[in-house]
Amino acid sequence: MRVGLVGYGLAGKVFHAPLISAAGMELVGIVTNNEERIVQAKSDYPNAKICRDVSELISIGIDLMVVASVNTEHVPNAKAAISAKIPVVVDKPVAITESETAELFSFAEKNSVALHPFFNRLWDSDTLTIKAKMDLIGKPHRFDGRFERFRPELNRGSWREEAKPEEGGGLLLDLQTHLVSTAISCFGNAKLKYANLHNVRGGLAEDDVLIVLEHESGVVSSLAVSAVAGATGPRARLLGSKGALVVNELDPQEALLKGGNYLTGNRKSVAELHRGDEITEIQSEAGNYVEFYKLIKNGQVPVSKELALQVAQILDQAKRYG
d(CA 30, CA 217): 43
d(CA 269, CA 285): 8
Main-chain dihedrals φ then ψ at residue 217, nearest 5 degrees: -75, -10
pLDDT of residue 158: 84
- Among the listed residues 287, 308, 271, the one whose alpha carbon sits nearest the alpha carbon of residue 118: 308
3-state secondary structure labels for all residues of 287-312: CCCHHHHHHHHCCCCCCCHHHHHHHH
Which CATH superfamily, name and number, covers 121-288? Dihydrodipicolinate Reductase; domain 2 (3.30.360.10)
Which residues have a Cβ under 8 Å from the Cβ of 198 and sit 6 or more positions away?
Answer: 206, 207, 208, 209
Q: Which residues of the chain have pLDDT under 50?
A: none
Q: What is the largest CA-CA distance in the chain?
A: 62
pLDDT of residue 77: 98
pLDDT of residue 159: 83
- Give pTM, 2 decimals: 0.97
Q: Are 234 and 144 in contact (CB under 8 A)?
A: yes
pLDDT of residue 322: 66
pLDDT of residue 162: 84
Instruction: Tell me the Ramachandran region of residue 260: left when phi exceeds 0, alpha when psi lies from -120 to 50, beta otherwise.
Output: left
Fold of 2-118: Rossmann fold (3.40.50)
User: Quick one: DSSP state of residue 121?
Assistant: G
Domain ranges of the chain: 2-118, 121-288
Q: Are 81 and 87 in contact (CB under 8 A)?
A: yes
d(CA 308, CA 238): 23
Q: Which stretch of DSSP H or E encloses residue 116?
A: strand 115-118
